[in-house]
Amino acid sequence: MARYVSEVLADYPVAVEADVAWGEMDAFQHVNNAVYFRWFESARIAYFRAVGFVPDGAGLPTGVGPILAATDCRYRIPLTYPDQVSIGARVRDVEADRFLMEYAVVSHRAGALAASGSGRIVCFDYDAGAKAPLPPEVRRRIAGLEGTPAG
């Protein structure tokens, strides 16, 4: 099982783990669809922390930082309690003011990909209330984490 998880997440430089909680299941006896987006968020924030692109969390955001513009999820197998999942995050398609983040949720119990998704992240100047260019240092750190050229 652990081998499968590591194989699926080999191309995801950031991964977090989460336990499936009993209360995350819905009336259909599987993990509710909204839970996957919380898992994506946990992986996204871990990635932002890894590249130094996360607000300090004190009060309202200020300065330049990330904002989620769009997100989606493809559910592949239903998850139920008890289980543990690993959620991988990676970045693709880095542009001047945005990038695409991709996610994978892997079930430890099933040893299978449970869901995949993406999020469009836009660089935002919270003081000006407008889009902003992706800071060069963040771009370099993403490239370093992903093992790609910064450009």
Q: Which domains, ranges and CATH numbers included, belong to the chain?
A: 2-146 (3.10.129.10)
Better pLDDT: 2 or 116 = 116
In whole angstroms, what is the distance from residue 10 CA to residue 7 CA?
5
Backbone torsions φ then ψ of 45, nearest 5 degrees = -65, -40
- Report residue 130 as tokens: 């407008």
Residue 38 pLDDT grade (very low, low, confident, very high; cuts 50, 70, 90)? very high
pLDDT higher than 70, residue 151: no
Please state whether 147 falls in left (phi above 0), alpha (psi between -120 and 50) or beta.
left
In whole angstroms, what is the distance from residue 6 CA to residue 71 CA?
24
Q: Give me the pLDDT at residue 56, please.
A: 61
Residues 6+ positions from 138 with CB-CB distance below 8 Å: 51, 52, 53, 123
The pTM is what? 0.93
